[in-house]
Amino acid sequence: MGALMVRIRIWESVGRVLAWMDEQEHAVTHQHDTFNRGRAVVDLDALLAEPLRGGGPTELEYDPYTGEWVRTRGEGFVLAPLWESRSLYGVSYEEWHDVVDGGDLNAMSLVAALTRRWGAPRTVVMRPVMFQPLPCEPMPPVLEALSDVDNYGDLTVWGPVPAGPGGAARWVGVSVKHCDEKAPLVLMAVVADREIVEWETPL
C-alpha cells in the first residue's frame, strides 16, 4: 500500500472517530435537556435494586471522562441525578423561566408516577439546611450529602416502601433545584434504608 493510500485510510479513520464523538456530544446534550419520565423511573429502580452501604465515609463519584458528579454513597443511602437541564448562562429572561418551569413540570410528572406506585408522599423542607446557623450540630448525613452537591430543593418523600433487595424497606426522595441561577437544574433521587426527616436546627 502506497504512502498516499495510508494517509487516506488514516484520515478516514480520524473522520469516523470525530463523527462518533459528535454523536456522543449530541446525545449527552440531548439527554441533559430532554426529560424522559420512563427513563427516570428505570434509573430510580436501578438505585433501589442496589445494596446500600452499611458504614464508612460519604463518597462522591465522578464520571472518569467528563468529570461530572454522578453519584454519592454514604452510610445507608445513595443519591444520584435523574435529569439535568442545559446551562442557564447567558439565556434570555423568557428562556430562563421556560427551563425552570419545565424542570418543575418534570419533577411533578415523576412525583405523579411514583405516587401511583407508593401512595401519597410527604415533604421534607431543606430550608434549615440552606440557612443553617453557625456554629451548629452535625446534620443527618443524607442531608449533608445533598448540601455538598448544592441541592437544596425540598424533597418529596415516600416510605417505608418494600422496594429494596428482597423487599427491604426503603425511603425514596426526589427534588429539583440548581445551585445558582446560571447553573443547570438537576432532578435528583435519594434512596435510603432509614427515614428521611427534616433537620431540626438547634436553638
What's this model's pTM, rounded to 2 decimal places? 0.77
pLDDT band at residue 31, thresholds of 50, 70 and 90? very low
For the chain, give the mean pLDDT.
Answer: 80
> What mean pLDDT is predicted for residues 161-184?
87
| DSSP reduced 3-state for 19 | helix
Q: What is the pLDDT of residue 158?
A: 97
pLDDT in tens, 76-103: 999 999 999 888 888 888 887 888 888 8
> What mean pLDDT is predicted for residues 137-164?
87
> What mean pLDDT is predicted for residues 183-188?
88
Q: For residue 191, which of 104, 109, 83, 82 has the smallest C-alpha distance?
A: 82
**Burial (0-12, 13-18, 19+ Cβ within 10 Å), 66:** exposed
pLDDT band at residue 24, thresholds of 50, 70 and 90? very low
pLDDT at 140 over 90: no
The 10 Å Cβ neighbour count of residue 41 is 16
| DSSP reduced 3-state for 197 | coil
Q: In DSSP terms, which residues pair with 152 in a beta bridge?
A: none
24 contacts 97 by C-beta, under 8 angstroms: no
> What mean pLDDT is predicted for residues 136-156?
83
| DSSP reduced 3-state for 91 | coil
Q: What is the pLDDT of residue 59?
A: 92
| DSSP reduced 3-state for 4 | helix
Q: What is the pLDDT of residue 78?
A: 96
Q: What is the pLDDT of residue 23?
A: 43
Looking at per-residue pLDDT, the higher value among 163 and 96 belongs to 163
User: Which of 49-53, 170-174, 181-185 is least confident?
Assistant: 181-185
pLDDT band at residue 20, thresholds of 50, 70 and 90? very low
**CA-to-CA distance for 99 and 105, rounded, in angstroms?**
10
Copy the grid coordinates of residue 183. Answer: 447553573
Q: What is the pLDDT of residue 136?
A: 60
Q: How far apart are the first and last CA of the chain?
A: 81
Element (H, E) at 96: helix 93-118
**CA-to-CA distance for 24 and 51, rounded, in angstroms?**
31
**CA-to-CA distance for 184 and 99, rounded, in angstroms?**
9
